[in-house]
Structure 1
Amino acid sequence: MRISVSVVAAARLHLGFLDMNGALGRKFGGLGLSIDAPATRLTLRPAEAMEATGPDAERARALLENAVAALAPGKRYRLTMEQAIPPHSGLGSGTQLALAITAALRRIEDLPQHVEADAALLQRGARSGLGAGLFTRGGLVVDGGRGADTTTPPVISRLAFPETWRILLVSDPAAIGLHGAEERKAFAELPPFSEADAGKLCRLVLMQALPAAAEEDFVAFGAAVTAIQSIVGDYFAPAQGGRRFTSAAVENLLARLAEAGATGVGQTSWGPTGFAFAPNEAEARRLEARVRGAAEASGLSLAVVAGADRGARIDAVYAEIA
């Protein structure tokens, strides 16, 4: 029998860190949401030589080689990338790609799935466990941050995201979010984060954002996300040209959306993708129409997406060897 494995992994929004102070012994923690587009879609199958083709193939091959060296040394595979989450856009592309590859490899080799270990193996989740948690579960999750002995930050809460709510994504193709050495440098140079602000963030998540999502209170959820993003955005502004947003064009368009009635406005991770929430499809499309011309004039991409309430899909196909 010959086996090939296909994996579909959804993009995610990083809605904000919780505690960058770390006085309690754990640092970072975060609130994140799976969204139904864009997504990484790939197929892996045994082959005579190592090969990767399609979008983001160079990065995918490097991740595959590292995974094979650890999990199936000496084996060879062909990786076909059908679709990739745009890299360095704040949508979790690297983590979802790494975990999709290792999930496919484990399925082919009949190894138990171990998402948290694979995240550590491929050096994902240095600060956040959201990518691993959302790959497994989808929905709206909170990770508990990194302690002294943490491998991958644990998911401590997972809620379904209301089906009718929508998210408007605004992205600047001309900008790239901080990553790699530049990201590490930015964290090293940022000032200490206050305990008072960490307390505010944790309270906003525990006592407003999560209960609001559970009770489908859109107004309270949007207000919580806006407040979280204001605190986090101000802290990271020195690494983003003095702004809460990597892209000034994205910032300006989100301000237009807020004026038109959107809420929960912010930037995912280092951007350049920004987001705003709407209570339903009709309102999302109304808001989209209001700013479509301005988006096109600024060279920005604009999309309406929904939450994704399931983890990655992993499908195996078996065929007789000819």
Structure 2
Amino acid sequence: MQFRHQKVSVTAPARLHMGFIDLSGSLGRHFGSIGVALNEQATRLTVAGADRRLISGPSSARAEKCLATLCKALEVPDTLEIHIESAIPEHVGLGSGTQMSLAIGAALNAFYDLGLSVRDIAKVMVRGLRSGIGIGVFEQGGLVVDGGRGEHTVTPPLLARMAIPEAWRFILVFDKRGQGLHGLQEIQAFQELPPFPRREAEQLCYLLLMQALPAIAENDIVRFGEVITRLQRSVGEHFAAVQGGIYTSPEVAAAMEWLAEQGAVAVGQTSWGPTGFCMVNGAGRAEALVELARRKFAASDTLVFIGASARNSGGLVVVE
């Protein structure tokens, strides 16, 4: 096969997973989730033709596996040079695996002119088994809601996509020591979870549709934050038995409690953590609160605080 382009560059944004809606499928569909794309955390890579396969940069081992799977399934040569400029940290709740898979898949798609959609690539890489947030943010960015899994679902359908107001900012809290559940541990954890109450799933559906999404449309960060905090508490309590509490990291839990006391909203943990997140209105307010948090928790050598903004566009593919 001959390739038509010399180089393809891809940017795949990290995502916050803000929670599931129905973990037991008591209403006929399993999971369903809400999340948002981020600007400051992303996987960025370039793919170019080469005489042999060469992969460099962070998360090279993961990229190697993705490339092997994709090239075999798509029947294209793997004699490529891939340079990873930056990679989303692995297993901290920011969607690193899905974004690496989609980034390399999108690069191959453009490089070899395969005519694939993002969901075609996700299907090959077996992504979207539970959440479709990573797929949705690569497709369109912004805040996305997926419809979970039903009887005929291949990848969770995108139900809603909304732009996050420009002034809204996130504060992320990382625990440098640990990783969230992933792989076989994650599968086992889902199997061990008790049934999710049907009435709770119904309540979360209502709050999401009739309060959280209208709050984005009306630029009401407080009301949006109330719903996300409520959803996070519900899901966190459900996961507590398998992750050791509402938060995976006790240190992150303490930091999130303090941030809420300072007026932050939408307080929770993304995916299995250990990363926590919250929101404030205004870039200046976010910067000031990040600095206060760093001083407050300076004695801890485990926590890292950074500010972030929502990315209201999807993955970027540039062909040269």
| TM-score bracket for the superposition, by shorter chain length | over 0.9
The Cα shift of 1:70 comes to: 1.4
CA–CA distance in structure 1, aligned partners of residues 290 and 190 of structure 2: 34
Cα distance in 2 between the residues matched to 1:156 and 1:69: 32
Inter-partner Cα distance in structure 2 for 1:314 and 1:16: 28
Aligned partner letter, 1:7? V
- Look up the match of 2:17: 14
Spell out structure 1 runs of 4+ moving beyond 2 A.
72-75, 294-297
Q: Secondary structure at the match of 2:36?
A: strand
Q: Secondary structure at the match of 1:314?
A: strand
Tell me which residue corresponds to 1:295. Answer: 297
Matched, 1:275 2:277: yes
Residue from 52, 59, 62 that aligns with 1:59: 62
> Equivalent of 1:311, from 293, 299, 314?
314
Pairing 1:238–2:241 present: yes
Percentage of pairs with the same residue:
47
Contact 1:295 1:301 in 2 (8 A): no
- State which drifts further: 113-122 or 167-176: 113-122
> Aligned partner of 2:164: which letter?
F
**Counterpart check, 1:265 vs 2:267:** yes
- Partner-residue secondary structure (3-state), 2:298: helix
CA RMSD after TM alignment? 1.1
Structure 2: segments with no counterpart, 5+ residues: none
Paired AA for residue 298 in structure 2: E
Deviations 1:75-119 (A, max 9, x none): 421111110000001000100110000000000111113111211
Provide the TM-score with structure 1 as the length reference. Answer: 0.96
Measure the CA separation in 1 of the matches of 2:277 and 2:77: 44
Distance 1:50 1:197 in 2: 50
Cα contact 2:68–2:78 (8 A) shared by 1: no
**Which runs of structure 2 are paired with 1:175-190 in the superposition (5 Å)?**
175-190=178-193
Q: How many angstroms apart in 2 are the aligned matches of 1:189 and 1:315?
A: 43
**Alignment of structure 1 residues 1-322 onto 2, 5 Å:** 3-241=6-244, 243-298=245-300, 299-317=302-320
How far apart, CA to CA, are the structure 1 residues paired with 2:220 and 2:5? 49
* C-alpha spacing 1:249/1:47, structure 2 compared with 1 (3 Å): same
Corresponding pairs, count: 316
Question: Secondary structure at 2:135's aligned position in 1?
Answer: helix
Q: For 1:302 and 1:105, locate their aligned partners in 2 and report how far apart those are by CA, in whole Å.
A: 35
CA–CA separation in structure 1 for the residues paired with 2:248 and 2:312? 28
TM-score by length of 2: 0.96
3-state SS of the aligned residue for 1:296? coil
3-state DSSP of counterpart to 1:25: coil
Paired residues of 2:5 and 2:319 also in contact (CA < 8 A): no
In 1, the alpha carbon distance for the partners of 2:76 and 2:143 equals 36
Give me the whole-angstrom Cα distance separating, in 1, the residues matched to 2:306 and 2:217: 25
Q: Is contact 1:173–1:300 with CA below 8 Å preserved after alignment? A: yes
Unpaired runs of at least 5, structure 1: 318-322
Distance 1:295 1:116, change over 3 A: farther
1:234: how far off? 0.4
TM-superposed deviation, 1:2: 5.1
Query: 1:285: how far off?
Result: 1.8
1:249 partner amino acid? E
Q: Residue 159 of structure 1: CA displacement?
A: 0.4
Q: Tell me the SS of whatever aligns to 2:114.
A: coil
C-alpha displacement of 1:24: 3.0
1:154 CA displacement = 0.6
* Structure 1 residue 39 displacement after superposition: 0.7
Q: Given residue 79 of structure 1, which amino acid in structure 2 is its aligned partner?
A: I
Give yes or no for contact 1:12–1:35 (8 Å, CA) kept in 2: yes
Q: Distance in 2 between matches of 1:137 and 1:152?
A: 15
1:178 deviates by 0.2
CA–CA separation in structure 2 for the residues paired with 1:252 and 1:287: 15
Equivalents in 1 of 2:283, 2:76: separation in Å? 48
1:248 CA drift (Å): 0.6
Q: Distance in 1 between matches of 2:148 and 2:226?
A: 23
